[in-house]
Amino acid sequence: MGQNGAMEPVAEDWQRALAIVAHPDDLEYGCSTAIAKWTAQGRSVVEVLATRGEAGIDSMDPEEVARIRTEEQIEAARRVGVDTVEFLDLPDGVLEYGLPLRRALAAVIRRHRPEVVLSVNFRETFPGGAFNMADHRALGLAAVDAVRDAANRWVFRDLGLEPWQGVRFVLLGGSPQPTHYVDVTGHLDAGVASLRAHRVYFDNLGADFDPEAFLTGIVEPLGRTVGVTHAMPFELIES
């Protein structure tokens, strides 16, 4: 934040971003709206998901859920201009913070060599106070730590990958402690479309969820606060 406590815009003088999240749909609750802006401007964004979300639908077999949610994530990414979506195939629901996860994410960062990393909120709560889930807390914290791991040539030497010290900052979506914003004016429709791509998942939750109302409820109030039409909040951590 600025000296007066106001949220600052995210710097956009970069070309390559890497989004690392736990599950299909994690990005679409806000991050993908910003991604739509960046890809429209010619920036490169790659998405990496730790799991395929196979534990996410109680009434369906996990293998079938994995197939469906993989397809839905690839389509969601396509709708915001992302062509490369990778899956680490870690087990959904039981991600653990620790060296194995940090090692896997450091390898991803060294391979893709981004300037910006996006990830999920690792704080204990969501905005509004609801308790955050374990996978998010483990993955988000590991992603932040993996940025430093990837930069240190003497950490995870067995990966056989050159260190990457070029990450400038990490952006965390859905944080209860936002510090920065992205002006997403003109890109809300793409963000809504990406969230709607998770159709089978939402149909099986048994809840009446409106993607447009959800995202509009985030970007319009913050936009008024910072002086633009639509703005998406992020917690920014310098690397």
Q: Is 151 a residue whose pLDDT tops 70?
A: yes
pLDDT at residue 208, as a whole number: 83
Q: How far is it, in rounded angstroms, from Cα 121 to Cα 185?
A: 23
pTM: 0.95
Contact 168, 20 (CB under 8 A): no
162 falls within a domain: yes
Tell me which residue range forms the domain holding 233: 8-238
- Parallel, antiparallel or unpaired: strands 180-183 and 169-173: unpaired
Q: Residue 152: CA atoms inside 13 Å, Cβ hemisphere, count?
A: 11
38 falls within a domain: yes
Residue percentage of the chain with pLDDT more than 70: 98
What does the pLDDT look like over 162-189, one tens digit per residue?
999 999 999 999 999 999 999 999 999 9
Q: List strands edge to edge, sheet with 85-87.
A: 8-9, 180-183, 231-238, 169-173, 116-120, 16-21, 44-49, 85-87
193 falls within a domain: yes
Domains held by the chain: number: 1
Supply φ then ψ for residue 48, to 5 degrees: -125, 125
pLDDT at residue 143, as a whole number: 98
Q: Is 5 a residue whose pLDDT tops 70?
A: no
Q: Which amino acid type is present at position 53?
A: G
Mean per-residue pLDDT over the chain, rounded: 96
Closest CA to 132 of 142, 122, 140, 141: 122
Q: Is 101 a residue whose pLDDT tops 60?
A: yes
Q: Which CATH number is 80's domain given?
A: 3.40.50.10320
3 falls within a domain: no
E strands in the chain: 8-9, 16-21, 44-49, 85-87, 116-120, 169-173, 180-183, 231-238
1 falls within a domain: no
178 falls within a domain: yes
165 falls within a domain: yes
94 falls within a domain: yes
CA distances from 25 to 46, 74, 118, 162, 171 (A): 15, 10, 14, 31, 17
What does the pLDDT look like over 112-130, one tens digit per residue?
999 999 999 999 999 999 9
CB atoms within 10 A of CB 67: 13
